[in-house]
Amino acid sequence: MSIPRRKDLLSIAPLADEEIELVLSNAAQFKALFRRRVKKVPTLRGRHVLTLFYEPSTRTLSSFEIAASRLSADVTHFSVSTSSVVKGESILDTVETLESMQVDCIIVRHSASGVASLIARHSRASVINAGDGWHAHPTQALLDAFTLREIWPDLSGRRILIVGDLLHSRVARSTSTIFHRLGAEVAVLGPGTLIPDTRWDWLRKFRTFDEALHWQPDVIYLLRIQNERLGDDPFFPSLGEYHRHYGVTDERFARIAGEGLYLMHPGPVNRGVELVDAVMSYDRCLINQQVENGIAIRMACLHWLQPATSSS
């Protein structure tokens, strides 16, 4: 079956099941390129990808840059802090500037929800949301799904426990959505102050790590404590306290490793907060696979999208 190409990738929710399946399937073929002598293909030669990051990011930004360059696209980083944004240029003024530069795809990250869709509505170029506020981070969700699909081709009935700050996490929102769409059972664990009230009746909520482990999850997905997003509000007393209640401590790690559970984390890791050092060398810790798979998923997304046809 053929899937029409899409202009933008803003969140997981509007995607058809067939679109998710196609991206996951194509990503496997892009990943196979990494084992070749020449890892680069000429697919997007002559196309221009622009990264527009209003928030700092090293991993996601490099991942998109590598993905674009392995597809032979030209990549420009529109450095926001040094641009006229600091001089008060509005987002739409910036978009107008980018339109004049005739780029084909804009990768956007912003601290406010909805900025990527705002840009998408005003731009001929394809827009990929690389994280907007607390809202969505669709390529993270796709790479997480891809990573688990490598272990289990069918996620039906698999249990995934997401631990941490769900309130401020676009990762949690996008990733739990895709896991649920693919048939997994999803539960969350975190401080009461950081668990949002959702209308998702499929989302199970736990109060303690013991309760959550008793549920017998197959995967524990640790979210990063985002100090930069917490501000001055004391959602929990201290990082040490967080670690004791919601972190993978040495004691919990022994149990997790004993039961052979998989561990995921979107990175970057706060060692000693979400997890202890020993986890990083655990053979069922999928963090490095997530990074590698992120490049393959982003290649599949760049290959999938198509800018609006020029009206001129």
Partner 1 sequence: MPDPVADSQLLLDADGVQAAVGRLADAVADRHPETWPVFIGIERRGVPLARRVAAELARRQPGRGAPPVGSLDISLYRDDLAALVTVPRLRGSQIDFDVDGAEVVLFDDVLYTGRTIRAALDELADFGRPARVELAVLLDRGCRELPIQADFVGLRHSTRPGDYVRVRFAETDGADAVMVGQKEAVR
Interface with partner 1 by CB under 8 A: which residues? 2-5, 22, 25-26, 28-30, 32-33, 36-38, 40-44, 47, 71, 303-304, 306
List Cβ neighbours of 129 (8 Å cut-off, separation of 6 or more).
8, 9, 10, 11, 108, 109, 116, 117, 136, 137, 138
Distance CA 176, CA 166 (A): 10
Measured from the CB of residue 38, what is the shortest distance to partner 1 in angstroms?
Answer: 4
Measured from the CB of residue 307, what is the shortest distance to partner 1 in angstroms?
Answer: 9
- Is the CB of 172 or the CB of 300 nearer to partner 1? 300
Distance CA 196, CA 202 (A): 14
Distance CA 43, CA 194 (A): 43
Dihedral (CA of 28, 29, 33, 36) sign: positive
Measured from the CB of residue 27, what is the shortest distance to partner 1 in angstroms?
Answer: 9
Enclosing H/E stretch for 126:
strand 126-132
Measured from the CB of residue 43, what is the shortest distance to partner 1 in angstroms?
Answer: 4
Distance CA 173, CA 198 (A): 10
Measured from the CB of residue 294, what is the shortest distance to partner 1 in angstroms?
Answer: 18
Residue pair 21/182 in contact (Cβ under 8 Å)? The answer is: no
- Is the CB of 36 or the CB of 199 nearer to partner 1? 36
User: How do beta strands 159-163 and 126-132 pair?
Assistant: unpaired
- Is the CB of 73 or the CB of 264 nearer to partner 1? 73
- Is the CB of 43 or the CB of 113 nearer to partner 1? 43
- Is the CB of 21 or the CB of 99 nearer to partner 1? 21
- Is the CB of 26 or the CB of 76 nearer to partner 1? 26
Measured from the CB of residue 66, what is the shortest distance to partner 1 in angstroms?
Answer: 16
Of 78, 80, 82, give the one whose Cα is nearest residue 55. Answer: 80
In the sheet where 185-189 sits, what is the strand order? 204-206, 185-189, 159-163, 219-222, 262-264
Q: What are phi and psi of 189, to 5 degrees?
A: -140, 130
- Is the CB of 171 or the CB of 296 nearer to partner 1? 296
Measured from the CB of residue 4, what is the shortest distance to partner 1 in angstroms?
Answer: 6
Count Cα neighbours of 171 within 13 Å in the Cβ-side half-sphere.
21
User: How do beta strands 219-222 and 48-53 pair?
Assistant: unpaired
- Is the CB of 20 or the CB of 220 nearer to partner 1? 20
DSSP 242-290: HHHHHSB-HHHHHHHHHHT-EEE--S---BTTTB-GGGGG-TTB-HHHH
Amino acid occupying residue 9:
L
- Is the CB of 40 or the CB of 244 nearer to partner 1? 40
Measured from the CB of residue 21, what is the shortest distance to partner 1 in angstroms?
Answer: 10
Measured from the CB of residue 46, what is the shortest distance to partner 1 in angstroms?
Answer: 8
